[in-house]
Structure 1
Amino acid sequence: MAQPIWLECALNGAWTRERQPRIPVTVAEIVEEGAAAAAEGAAILHFHAYDETTGEQRDDWQIYARIIEGLSARTDAILYPTVPGEATHAPDRFAHIRELAARGLLEWTVLDPGSVNLSVAGSPGRGAVYRNPPRELGPMAGFCAERRLHPGYAIYEPGFTRAGAALARQAGMPTPIYRFMFSDRFLWGFPPRPRFLDAHLALLAECDPGAPWMVAGLDVDLSPLLEHAASRGGGLRAGLEDAPLGTEANNAALTRAAARHARRLATPKEIRAALQPR
């Protein structure tokens, strides 16, 4: 029997509707689109919470709790929220994660193990910095170890793999999930080519052999990578967070298209079992 492929749907991201018009923003929209993506085979759902009045991202644990509770009533998918790139809403970027974990609402969390320039092709002198300083990562890694939260690593640059593997070992965290990030529009990391995925995998085999991984990205068409990733036993990610800006398809359609590259999709139960200590 073929190894089951993990499939994740990233429902919205931080784009706002100004840049990605079809993203779900309200709690009801996120729940509806998440349930639809799960019905298409997504065993993992990732989402950003929004202020329904302003249409801007708002990392409020109470909004996330409503999303998680709404989705949990519709699907048994693994559910996890984002962490803001800057401490714009509270002094502690991880405050909502701590609140949700305290209420037993989380299994995974974002914990990106490095910082990166978000430079854009055509304007390399412009852009932002996505900061994840060690002074924040260390305490949060300890929290993940204490609460048994699996850290989801977005690997923007190869050094993130080395740092993430070391952080997991030092803190005694549960198994990390490595998401190799690709983009054409942004100038970090690699464009979506199979040979660059192979480079990521060679490094992962040295740093954290056997760890689960998947391909993901921002403002990118991942289709050149999906067949190769599935053939190498990796997970796939779809959804409007990753898709090229202005995409007309909804999350269910994007999930359905990605699912065609897997001979068999993993269920949430199978993923949870694979992450249990051996």
Structure 2
Amino acid sequence: MSATIIEVALNGPWTRKHQPKIPVAADEIVSEAIVCCKAGASVVHFHAYDAKTGDQTTDVALIESIIAGIRDEVDALVYPAIRYMSNAEAIHASSGWRRYEHLAALGRGRKLDWLIVDPGSTNLVRYSDTSLEDAVVDINSPAAIKHGLNIAAEYGLNPTMAIYDPGYLRLAHHLVGRTTRLKTPMYRFMFSEQLTFGFPPRSYALRAYLELYRELAISAPWMVAGLGTNVLPIVAEAVVMGGHVRAGLEDFDLGTETGNLALVEATAKAIEAAGGKVASTAEARRILA
């Protein structure tokens, strides 16, 4: 059984309105990343926030300072979020360039390890949002997806690709195969309990994704993750099947009082209880080589 990568997704786009325990200020993000890495995480994902406004930002200088602060203390694979865009912006012909402008700059500066490329579009609707005021249409046009893969190829970055439903995986595999010099992707199966997309975190759902994997003859690594959910019940099965795990407040039940460190620690214990071994950062690099 190979080592299991733990990725920690520290905060996400939720703001503290929906996920009150997330780190927002740069120093909070850095400090939580460091303790989570010391507890077993080898990959760190974060959304940068403007501490004054509480809004997400893609300010390159701020993101660089967060990455540097993490790497000054721990060896980790680190990557930030893509640019949040309105629906109108996301369908514009320039959406790929706008989504990835800051990441291209970071790639040129050799600041990144992974790059988000979400290969599809979906409605992000919470069951509790009866008025649908906070519902989001997460739009990623085929041209924007290909642009992201081209950026990853140009700067030698591993694309991490969120799979919200089986169609995402089919398109991802198709476009990955048409992108030359692209490093190995990490496919991230996204489950949810509190939102309406895709599957809940169940054994049948994981098996369905892996059946499609076999049918498409995909050899890339994969991990279980989600939004508004707890994937711990399927971690043991994922470990036995050779998968990896994402933990953290971006993914976990919204409104939780649990923190990032506790989620990483619980994930590490679940991996070891299933007979697995938590991957070091060096092992994570080898898995994605």
TM-score range for the pair, normalised by the shorter chain length: over 0.9
| Number of residue pairs aligned between Structure 1 and Structure 2 | 275
The 3 A distance-change label for structure 1 pair 208 and 54 is farther
CA distance in 1: counterparts of 2:213 and 2:260, whole angstroms: 29
TM-score normalised according to structure 2 size: 0.91
The 3 A distance-change label for structure 1 pair 39 and 170 is same
**Letter of the aligned partner of 1:97 in structure 2?**
L
**1:271 paired residue number:** 284
**Letter of the aligned partner of 2:114 in structure 1?**
W
Query: How far off is 1:119 after superposition?
Result: 2.4
Unmatched segments (≥5 aa) in structure 2: none
State yes or no: 1:146 paired with 2:154: yes
Secondary structure of 1:171's partner? coil
1:209-250, Cα deviation, whole Å (9 max, x unpaired): 221100001111212211111111110111111111121121
TM-score normalised according to structure 1 size: 0.94
State yes or no: 1:157 paired with 2:165: yes
Secondary structure of 1:25's partner? coil
CA distance in 2: counterparts of 1:208 and 1:113, whole angstroms: 18
1:83-232 superposed matches below 5 A: 83-86=82-85, 92-121=98-127, 126=132, 127-172=135-180, 173-232=182-241
State yes or no: 1:57 paired with 2:56: yes
**Letter of the aligned partner of 2:154 in structure 1?**
E
1:23-34 superposed matches below 5 A: 23-34=22-33
Query: How far off is 1:53 after superposition?
Result: 0.1
- Name the Cα RMSD after superposition: 1.8
Query: How far off is 1:208 after superposition?
Result: 4.7
Residue 232 of structure 2 contacts residue 270 of structure 2 at CA under 8 Å; is this kept in 1? no
Secondary structure of 1:219's partner? coil
Unmatched segments (≥5 aa) in structure 1: none
**Letter of the aligned partner of 2:2 in structure 1?**
Q
The 3 A distance-change label for structure 1 pair 248 and 120 is closer
